[in-house]
């Protein structure tokens, strides 16, 4: 496994986050080879793999390409997978699990395909090393990922293991929380420049405001995580990982910003959860929390963004109640947010019509399985 050699890297993402992820990868200096709704392909060495796991805010998993081959039948999978020098990749006294996406006429249950691959790896180890690693379903050590579409197989090391979509600071998610990777993507796709005010009324458990504060001081999700799959590979060197983190982290304490990050909510309990999450993330001192109706949220002089993530009205009878809320958000934008960019993230475009303002951009997203839009308003 040549760590300093450039290789294919696939970064998976939640459905619809490929555009935001592509922009984030380009911002980190990577050239996009291919982008699909659930993954973005780039090229890089193993140092880049570690860097991506540490720094990415909108990705799910970082996959390091191992091999590609044709396999019509499970026996072909076994034969080809056994040729791969797994003893150079995995530890003989370690542990690995297998994850997969399989669409092949001979495989009715992905567990059978996974078992065939596991057998090939284990038998290779017995032949070459006279011993083999343990295996199981836990993804807290080495993880092999198989993508088998019809007759084409691609094998990867899932270098993340547990998904990097969760950023690790949210000890209490609250009700109907926005996932951290989605919140980061929303902010990155907005026109916030990280130098002007960031206002988040109806903040709920505070994920948008916390992600904004982390971006403002240059803290990355990897600061909150201690274990990745790549740390359990044979060629991993703890010194390389430590040096990379030291190089990325500025280690300087930021006590004050030159602009405001404001998070408000009329639910005292939700705001208490937001404060606790911000404290664990180390940015509670950078966010002004206020218990109030969104219409009473402070909008400082100057410029910046105002970001709402209101309810969508997913259950019967809720939509009519929310019509007034969306109308009031539009009034709030018009009357109090001049000079700002306004944003509404919603899964209900009919309700969005009640805002009464012309959108400048409508960016597609998904929140779970719900098709959503990030609506942008330029507030003159």
Segment 187-240, tens digit of pLDDT: 999 999 999 999 999 999 999 999 999 999 999 999 999 999 999 999 999 999
Confidence band for 318, pLDDT divided at 50, 70 and 90? confident
Phi/psi at 4 (nearest 5 deg)?
A: -90, 0
> Do the beta carbons of residue 359 and residue 349 sit within 8 Å?
no
pLDDT surpassing 60 at residue 316: no
Mean predicted lDDT score pLDDT of the chain: 94
Q: Where in the chain is the domain with CATH 3.40.50.150?
A: 180-221+256-378
pLDDT surpassing 80 at residue 70: yes
Confidence band for 177, pLDDT divided at 50, 70 and 90? confident
Work out the average pLDDT over 143-166.
97
Sequence-ordered alpha helix ranges (H) in 282-372: 318-336, 349-352
> Do the beta carbons of residue 277 and residue 208 sit within 8 Å?
no
Question: Domain 7-158 falls in which CATH fold?
Answer: VC0802-like (3.30.2130)
Q: Please give the pLDDT value at position 343.
A: 98
Q: Where in the chain is the domain with CATH 3.30.2130.30?
A: 7-158
Q: Please give the pLDDT value at position 319.
A: 75
CA distance 374 to 353: 13
Structure tokens at 211: 């992600």
The CATH superfamily holding the domain 180-221+256-378 is Vaccinia Virus protein VP39 (3.40.50.150)
CA distance 57 to 165: 7
Confidence band for 254, pLDDT divided at 50, 70 and 90? confident
pLDDT surpassing 60 at residue 301: yes
For residue 131, give Cα distances in angstroms to 196, 236, 341. 58, 20, 61
DSSP assignment, residue 240?
H
Bridge-based pairing state of the strands 134-135 and 95-103:
parallel
User: Which of 108, 28, 113 shows the shortest CA–CA distance to 62?
Assistant: 28
Work out the average pLDDT over 346-351.
93
pLDDT surpassing 80 at residue 314: no
CA distance 113 to 33: 29
- Dihedral sign (CA 153, 234, 25, 213): positive
């Amino acid at each position: 496994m040549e760590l300093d050699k450039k290789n294919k890297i696939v970064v998976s993402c939640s459905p619809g986050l490929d555009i935001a992820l592509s922009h984030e990868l380009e911002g980190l200096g990577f050239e996009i080879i291919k982008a699909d709704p659930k993954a973005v392909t780039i090229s890089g060495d193993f140092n880049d793999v570690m860097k991506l796991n540490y720094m990415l805010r909108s990705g799910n998993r970082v996959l390091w390409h191992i091999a590609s081959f044709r396999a019509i039948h499970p026996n072909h999978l076994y034969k080809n997978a056994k040729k791969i020098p797994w003893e150079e990749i995995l530890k003989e006294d370690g542990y690995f699990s297998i994850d997969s996406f399989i669409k092949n006429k001979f495989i009715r249950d992905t567990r059978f395909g996974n078992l065939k691959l596991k057998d090939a790896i284990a038998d290779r180890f017995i032949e070459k090393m006279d011993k083999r690693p343990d295996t199981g379903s836990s993804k807290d050590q080495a993880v092999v990922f198989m993508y088998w579409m019809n007759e084409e197989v691609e094998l990867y090391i899932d270098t993340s293991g547990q998904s990097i979509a969760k950023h690790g600071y949210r000890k209490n998610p609250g009700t109907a929380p926005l996932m951290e990777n989605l919140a980061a993507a929303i902010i990155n796709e907005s026109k916030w420049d990280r130098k002007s005010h960031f206002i988040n009324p109806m903040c709920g458990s505070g994920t948008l405001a916390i992600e904004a504060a982390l971006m403002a001081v240059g803290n990355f999700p990897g600061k909150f995580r201690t274990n990745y799959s790549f740390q359990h590979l044979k060629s991993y060197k703890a010194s390389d990982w430590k040096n990379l983190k030291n190089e990325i982290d500025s280690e300087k304490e930021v006590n004050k910003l030159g602009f405001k990050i404001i998070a408000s909510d009329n639910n005292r309990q939700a705001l208490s959860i937001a404060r606790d999450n911000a404290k664990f993330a180390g940015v509670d001192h950078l966010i002004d929390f206020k218990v109030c109706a969104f219409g009473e949220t402070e909008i400082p002089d100057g410029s910046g963004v105002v970001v709402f993530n209101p309810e969508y009205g997913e259950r019967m009878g809720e939509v009519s109640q929310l019509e007034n809320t969306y109308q009031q958000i539009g009034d709030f934008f018009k009357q109090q947010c001049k000079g700002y960019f306004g944003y509404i993230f919603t899964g209900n475009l009919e309700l969005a019509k009640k805002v009464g303002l012309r959108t400048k951009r409508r960016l597609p997203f998904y929140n779970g399985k719900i098709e959503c839009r990030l609506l942008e308003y330029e507030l003159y």
